Structure 1
């Protein structure tokens, strides 16, 4: 049974229980090892009032972790329901990484209050993180790592590790006097090494380092290709800033995927399943308005040929086929492009070859399906001319869809716009307008 199926069972069991029993059931899951991310997903599945009540009943030590793992709007919905005293007690528990995670979803006055509660050391780490942009790795790096001089003995290293860390694990990072990265050692190997050995002799080979200015998506790709569970992150002077691990990469990859999935409909990855009705309707209404404008453009194109449609009713019957074939062909190319751009596979050197390749695919599929649809339409309405008209429109529209399926995401990327967000709307408009114009324009020439 998958993790998500397990969560579905948990949610169902909690929702069917009496109100007084629900917190007890959730806490039983926590005692059985349910992690903070799973708890956050469970809370999101409940209406806000019930969600807040369940969160309040969680063990105090899990409050911050669960809120940090929650989506932005879910987190805000809980914080908004807290009293002033509860809010202050919650903010006082934040460390630098949690505050960075929360900062984009909270009002400035709450962020300022949270900053006032940070310990000096945590505040310094928070300020260092804010030197980097939201999409840069340096903002999210875990800076609390074990870093030791690279030229000391194993005996000295063990003393320092025991002195400054409570539960060391994973890797120990080696640095020089300028704090520059000099290597990485497995903690388990350090524990088992001879005391007289120099720690630098234990350095792991083929360790990749990541730049703090690297974009998150690129950092995730590097982590996926790595044989290590953590990788060091360096600044422009090659000084060690900290590390990222596979959990961070997995979480970031999920957020990137969800953002692109939601963006296609104008929604945000942080949107709440039980967001207030008025707020949600306003947000979705904007996207519906944009879609209306594009639909009007397609309708205007159709209205230019209303005389033709009035005389040849079959055109109205066949128009959805033209639009649908262009739309699906374009979405195939667009999806391929968005994925390839996310993986940094599209470069200046291969764009022209890619366009030729997609045009070739579009031409073959266009001709094949044009013959099939044209034959069916011609037999259906007993009109070879009508069959030839829709066949031509299908060819033109599928080739156009292939071309713009490549060009639109490239152009949007140049304009620093997310292709996943606006690409599908623009592409649908293009294929509808071109398809209708080709179909109805040709019909007006050959059928009247």
Structure 2
């Protein structure tokens, strides 16, 4: 993953997409594929579809490949197959794999059949590896030299082709595509043209086995002081290369994944459909609910010696905890959007509306479950009702606070990542207890 901080202000672009005919801001003419990826991540799918027609064909595959995974998944799901086929026709192996991985198997198979036989063969090899093995993403689009070639033939071939090389050397293989080593460009230019390449080969033991994990491969490249390392099978067959650029992408993705897990939202698209976001977060909310009931059970051990009102204290942690995790999920997405420049006045209302709907859906879902549990536990319909009400209200308000707090702090010049969670916890606790205990007071105190 690249750093997707935006190079442009999204608001003029969003405004331009809302007017027919569409006239993009002049700054869009200078964006590269990584900057376009950042732009697309800050838009809704409807806006992405409108903008896609303006992306240069030669950039399209890279734009899709470097978008954050969830944003790419949501976008590809609404792109016509023909449009995807055109985008991957000129893509690298790694880019094609990133796109095919998110498509239904039948759709992916149809697209592969439209590619040239050489690319199909390469993809078949790539698909034999798991999503975490470096062999799946080996860049086969790299120039290799046969050890039997002469310096003269090699120089003539280089001059007559579009071969480029930024690493200062070429990978050398034998007739069976077994990796032999590398040959420096400087040695080629300084040698007699009658010299065979095999006489200039420098054996290189620094290789990456095809079944190594992406992080292992990235560490190997980083420690090699080379622009790229060859990827080989156990028998030494050359599959392609893994570059320092690829390694940086992996490290970036891993870093963002660790940060996102703090809010239990992974790499979620800012504008993923409400149903998708609700389903993903429901799992974590369920886990959190179990821990909340555990805390309540410990307190409830002493209910035999307490009067009925103590049942409120037993259930209070559930209200606060469910509101807290709901707010933290929205808080994480909002802070990421602000940090990358993908969230501003132009799309703030869209995100706020989506987050409130997600919170309301999950609030009702888990409130229904809580109602059943508390009815069985305390056999008190009134108590179950006010607990369910408090959960829905607190989770909805927590989601609203999760997006408003970072926005306000950002305007005040305060880092939302440092202060946001503290303020959010206060809001969710106060709101949850006020609604829960206030409702109980109206119900039980006559």
- With the shorter chain as reference, the TM-score category is 0.5 to 0.7
Describe the SS at the equivalent of 2:55.
Answer: coil
Deviations 1:41-67 (A, max 9, x none): 111111221122112211122222211
After superposition, residues 77-88 of structure 1 pair within 5 angstroms as: 77-83=74-80, 85-87=82-84
Q: Give the aligned length.
A: 309
Cα distance in 1, alignment partners of residues 95 and 244 from structure 2: 18
1:195 partner SS: coil
Please, which moves more after superposition, 170-179 or 156-165? 156-165
Aligned-residue RMSD, C-alpha: 3.3
Aligned to 2:213: 215
Sort the Cα spacing of 1:28 and 1:249 in 2 relative to 1 into closer, same or farther, 3 A.
same
Give 1:150 deviation, angstroms: 2.4
* 2:178 is the counterpart of 1:199: no
Give the counterpart of 1:284 among 277, 281, 286. Answer: 281
Question: Aligned partners of 2:18 and 2:192: how far apart in 1?
Answer: 58
Q: Give distance in 2, aligned partners of 1:176 and 1:84.
A: 39
Query: Are 1:43 and 2:55 matched, yes or no?
Result: no
1:98 corresponding residue in structure 2 = 95
Per the TM alignment, residue 169 of structure 1 is displaced from its structure 2 partner at its CA by 4.5
- CA separation of 1:306/1:186 partners in 2, compared to 1, >3 Å: closer, same or farther? farther
Q: Give the Cα–Cα distance (whole angstroms) in 2 for the partners of residues 213 and 85 of structure 1.
A: 33
Deviates more, 1:39-48 or 1:260-269: 260-269
Q: Is the 1:99–1:114 contact (alpha carbons within 8 Å) kept by the matching residues of 2?
A: no
Taking structure 1 as reference, are residues 119 and 214 closer, same or farther at Cα in structure 2, changes over 3 Å only? same
CA drift at 1:241: 1.5
Matches within 5 A, 1:300-319: 300-306=297-303
Distance (whole Å) between structure 2 residues aligned to residue 95 and residue 248 of structure 1: 12
- In the superposition, relative to structure 1, how do residues 218 and 82 fare at CA in structure 2: closer, same or farther (>3 Å)? closer
Provide the rounded CA distance (Å) in 2 between the counterparts of 1:87 and 1:291. Answer: 39
Return the offset for 1:162. Answer: 4.2
Contact 1:95–1:118, Cα closer than 8 Å, also in 2: no
Q: Would you say 1:121 and 2:118 are equivalent positions? A: yes
Question: Within the alignment, does 1:14 sit opposite 2:13 as a pair?
Answer: yes
Q: Is the 8 A contact 1:95 1:122 kept in 2?
A: no
| TM-score, length basis structure 1 | 0.60
Q: Matched residue of 2:9: which SS?
A: helix
What's the counterpart of residue 132 of structure 1? 129
Cα drift, residue 138 of structure 1: 0.9
Match of 2:233 among 210, 232, 235: 235
Q: What's the TM-score once normalised by structure 2's chain length?
A: 0.61
Q: Secondary structure at the match of 1:290?
A: helix
1:190-222 CA-partner distances (Å, limit 9, x unpaired): 345443444345445765111111111111111
Partner of 1:261: 259
Unaligned segments of structure 2, at least 5 residues? 318-446
* 8 Å Cα contact 2:93-2:141 kept in structure 1: no
Deviations 1:237-262 (A, max 9, x none): 11221111011111111122223333
Is the contact made by 2:143 and 2:170 (CA closer than 8 Å) also made in structure 1? yes
C-alpha contact (below 8 Å) 1:150/1:199 kept by paired residues: yes
Q: Which one of the candidate residues 233, 236, 247 is aligned to 1:249? A: 247
Give the gaps of 5 or more residues in structure 1.
Answer: 321-448
- Deviation of the 1:181 alpha carbon: 1.6
Relative contact order (alpha carbons < 8 A, sep ≥ 6): 1 or 2 greater? 2
